[in-house]
Amino acid sequence: MSDSCVFCNLPPERVIDEDENFFVIRDGFPVTELHSLIISKRHTPSYFDLTSQEIESMNTFLASQRHAIVQIDPKVTGFNVGANDGASAGQTVFHLHIHLIPRRDGDVVEPKGGIRGAIPDRQAY
Query: Residues with catalytic annotation?
Result: 97
Q: How many Å apart are CA 19 and CA 12, to the nearest integer?
A: 14
**Is there a contact between 124 and 109 (Cβ–Cβ < 8 Å)?**
no
Neighbouring-strand partners of residue 78 = 103
Per the CB < 8 A criterion, the answer to whether 7 and 24 are in contact is no
Q: What span, in angstroms and rounded, lies between the C-alpha atoms of 99 and 49?
A: 17
> CA-based angle 74:75:81, to the nearest 5?
90
